[in-house]
Structure 1
Amino acid sequence: MKIPNRFIVVDDDTTNNLVCKYVIHRFNNNADVQLFTDPEKALEIIKDSSASAEVETVLFLDLNMPTMSGPEFLEEFENFNQDVQKQISIYILTASLDLGDRDRAERNVFVKGYLPKPLSMETMNQIFG
């Protein structure tokens, strides 16, 4: 996979979001990184901007968030236009050690990988190396 220029991070933990932004910029200093602590807002932005942008995007998604969980986010994403869905590669980025969480995520057609927090250069190299 070539290194995309657009990244979206959806996690209610602002510290984790900043770590992700730092690592992504170390990996690709020209990357456009959007951080969201509100999953609903991220879905709204993706729906509005991706259809016209046609930019390959990597989305790092947390599973456990208070207002909308990662699985709920994925359910909403399933309703999006196929053109939008094709542009976005979703990776679960979580601290969850629950094997059930991992199994459910890996069965989802939109999830490309299940990654441990925090995001690291090693993880980025595994994905895009």
Structure 2
Amino acid sequence: MKVPSQFIVVDDDSVNNLVCRYTIASFAPAARIQLFTNPGKALASIETEFGDEAEDLNATLFLDINMPEINGWEFLDAFSLFPEKLRAQINIIILSSSIDPEDLRNAENHPLVRGYYSKPLSKETLHQIYNVNNERA
């Protein structure tokens, strides 16, 4: 997977979001980073920003599973209703502290999920996701 120019983090934990911002910025300094503690607002923003047919954006979305208003699986259900062109612009990766084997199985079998990683996000995880040689970091 190519390193995107944009990252979106959807997690109700604002401290984790700041960790993600710092880690992503140190990995991809020129990348645009959006943080959302409210999954509903994230969905609305994605629909607005990525819904433009004229623009072809590329982003990675780090999604938490356990959130109070809309959990990660409900987020994926709503995201799956977006047009294919929009969905194709965003690679979704679960970033969770869940150790529930069912969550891992669900992520592995979900057509929109490209990976499942444990919190906190690290540069090593980013290197793994994008197959970047650690020596170049």
Unaligned runs of 5+ residues in structure 2 are 133-137
Superposed CA deviations along residues 57-103 of structure 1, whole A, max 9, x for unmatched, are: 00000000000000000000110000000000000000000000111
Runs of 4+ in 1 over 3 A off after TM superposition: none
Higher Rg: 2
Superposed CA deviations along residues 18-66 of structure 1, whole A, max 9, x for unmatched, are: 0000000000100100000000000000011102242110000000000
TM, length-normalised to structure 2: 0.92
TM, length-normalised to structure 1: 0.98
Residue type of the partner of 1:10?
A: V
Q: Which residue in the other structure is 2:74 paired with?
A: 72
The count of residues paired between Structure 1 and Structure 2 equals: 129
1:2 is displaced (CA, Å) by 1.6
**Within 5 A, what are the aligned runs for 1:23-102?**
23-52=23-52, 53-102=55-104
1:105 is displaced (CA, Å) by 1.3
Q: Which residue in the other structure is 1:22 paired with?
A: 22
Unaligned runs of 5+ residues in structure 1 are none
SS of residue paired to 2:7: strand
Residue type of the partner of 1:122?
A: E
Query: CA RMSD of the aligned region, Å?
Result: 0.7
User: Which structure is higher in helix share?
Assistant: 1
Q: Percent identity of the aligned residues? A: 48
Structure 2 distance, partners of 1:47, 1:60, is 16
